[in-house]
Chains A and B, each alone.
Chain A
């Protein structure tokens, strides 16, 4: 790694406009393309502060700062366009979380990297609407939160209540949401409103290790821990009336349910197994990267293909998982209100993945190209008229679900044409960490965090209250800053703002 003073480092960064910075070639060795990141004034400070801290003498260990990670990704073989940091970017394993990068599938040198997807493969957000209003729910808020908590097991080591054996799991890995449909856990319309229609066709359970399957089996239908949650939310603001109308959101005060979860231990094991394979592959194929954490292999190599197949299986696992929780949430609501989920109009508005790598067609310098797009902590945001988005959203653009943090707002955005040009149809995914987990534990007290939520009128059920400070709003960047930056930069449009009234968490 090059050692420079902070002021020398700044020479490689250039502010293009109020919302976008360029990272020039040379900032890190071997950069094939430029990097860039989207920030507003408030997020810019956090970003540069992180870099300044890393430049202080004696600062070694831990993750590299986000800007450096974006630049390292720009040095990977086969990258096209730019290595892009979204407004919620923060350091992660290899790739920063909130980094997207696209690789030309037809270039034999191009790579696929598990670090570019993350450990929680196909972590994502699903939003259900209801025809209930805030006034219907407020009197029974506590009961409803308890009912959700009883239906959806949460926390580290939790086990699901949907009976499954090893054969069921193999089928689910191959079929994704089609499995949930076949078994009757979800509705046909749910599949329609899900990225990839809830199934990656190249999934191959045979490429997945026994260990991953063993970890995954009991965990289907569980929320997990960390920043995952299920929330009962209320529409707080509508920015785009027509787009909201297409999503079945009529007025402020309408009640929705948001589920944020991923592929649990299964995805983690798939990623871990792949990293071991990739490290060997790198030696064999002589692939050089700036950072050991960027272990990768050529897309068309055996290791690369195996990873893509097992990643797809993990993605399918996550969709079955979110589908199972959709089923359980509908049950919880149906019991509470003594009405069928149908009568409660509990349709899926959309389901997005924000940790995934997918093959997509994009225009690069005016020419169509097939790219492997890595989105880690970044959500796909396709524009109106794109063939891969559901028919109901053809006029509005793809809904993008941005989960806030515990006790803060969440947003629904829509994809734009400008985003397609600037960021390969990608936008932010959430708030993005500002403090590390350890730092949050040191600086905050969990009773204060819980009291604060109570003051805001939010019911909360947590499996391990002593860890809530890791997820406290203070540990994260301000989600409103993140969303506003995306809106101002034109990479997605604000549509709906939601505020939580009840949270269940790991």
Chain B
């Protein structure tokens, strides 16, 4: 799990590191201190003596000195913390070099400056003109406006697509929703939320969900019917029939 990080740190033999092996663990820690972290002076590094019987004690001290928060006996977490710590030091050393490749810098330079032919792309959605324009359209379509004009625009677009498309204008009766109005505020039971507005909203959500489900079911039915067109051949044979006693 440390392969890529250790290779970035140019650790020799990064492919073969096994963190659960005590000896290798000590070796990596010592290498990191000597080459990257450099907390101690080079002549005073008890952590470098990896064969010492006091190594564990020195390591605990070392952890305190670099304020490593990981509890002991979590070898993998400890190693991960030290590898990351070393990476951090490495990064800060050459911050300006690495930052040249950061996403923010890349974006600003690599995207060509396209001049849109479509006037809609040049709209300033935050402008007052846009806002009042959308409100006007919404009013004509009898849609109650949302504080965010983009949401209102989306609602307008939905309505126009479903009710003002060519087919709908040709055969309006197929698209005008028929049926009796459903008193959802009284007839939907089981939403005692204590807040009238919240309750109403929950019921509206429920109705929208049911509408979605209805559309799905209708599509299922349509696919069944198209299969039936190929397979259906209902037969009866009255000669087979027999009334019992």
Question: Does A163 reach chain B (CB closer than 8 Å)?
Answer: yes
The 8 Å CB contact of A188, one of B180, B214, B221, B240, is: B221
Residues 83-116 of chain B, each 1 if its beta carbon lies under 8 Å from chain A, else 0: 0000000000000000000000000000000000
A244 → chain B closest CB, angstroms: 11
The 8 Å CB contact of A159, one of B180, B184, B228, B242, is: B242
Interface size bracket, A side: 35 or more
B residues within 8 A CB of A153?
A: 241-244
The 8 Å CB contact of B242, one of A158, A163, A189, A225, is: A158
Give the total of B residues in contact with A, Cβ under 8 Å.
34
B100 → chain A closest CB, angstroms: 54
Q: Is the CB of A183 within 8 A of B234?
A: yes
The 8 Å CB contact of A182, one of B231, B240, B244, is: B231
CA distance A49 to B206 in the complex (A): 48
Residue from B190, B206, B221, B245 having most chain A Cβ neighbours under 10 A: B245
CA distance A39 to B79 in the complex (A): 71
Question: Does A62 reach chain B (CB closer than 8 Å)?
Answer: no
Q: Is the CB of B188 within 8 A of A395?
A: yes
CA distance A242 to B179 in the complex (A): 12
Q: Is the CB of A154 within 8 A of B232?
A: no
Q: Is the CB of B232 within 8 A of A395?
A: no
CA distance A160 to B244 in the complex (A): 11
Number of A-B residue pairs at CB separation under 8 A? 102
Q: Is the CB of B236 within 8 A of A162?
A: yes
The 8 Å CB contact of B190, one of A154, A181, A385, is: A385
Q: Is the CB of A417 within 8 A of B190?
A: yes
A320-359 with Cβ < 8 A to chain B? 327-328, 331
B156-207 with Cβ < 8 A to chain A? 180, 182-184, 187-190, 206
CA distance A395 to B214 in the complex (A): 13
Question: Does B139 reach chain A (CB closer than 8 Å)?
Answer: no
CA distance A392 to B214 in the complex (A): 7
Task: Find the B residue at minimum CB distance from A250.
Answer: B180
Q: Is the CB of B242 within 8 A of A184?
A: no
Residues 150-192 of chain A, each 1 if its beta carbon lies under 8 Å from chain B, else 0: 0001111111111100000000000000000111110011011
CA distance A155 to B206 in the complex (A): 47
Q: Is the CB of A464 within 8 A of B236?
A: no
A residues within 8 A CB of B240?
A: 159-163, 218
Q: Is the CB of B242 within 8 A of A157?
A: yes
CA distance A185 to B184 in the complex (A): 36
Given contacts A158-B244, A242-B182, 18 further A-B contacts (CB under 8 A): A153-B244, A154-B243, A154-B244, A158-B241, A161-B238, A183-B231, A183-B233, A188-B224, A188-B228, A192-B220, A222-B244, A327-B234, A331-B236, A384-B190, A394-B213, A395-B184, A417-B189, A417-B190
Sample of 28 A–B contacts (CB below 8 Å): A153-B242, A154-B243, A156-B244, A157-B242, A158-B242, A158-B243, A159-B240, A159-B241, A159-B242, A160-B240, A160-B241, A161-B240, A162-B240, A163-B235, A163-B237, A181-B224, A181-B228, A182-B231, A185-B234, A192-B217, A192-B220, A327-B234, A384-B188, A385-B190, A395-B182, A417-B190, A463-B245, A506-B244
Residues of chain B at the chain A interface (Cβ within 8 Å): 180, 182-184, 187-190, 206, 210, 213-214, 217, 220-222, 224-225, 227-228, 231-238, 240-245
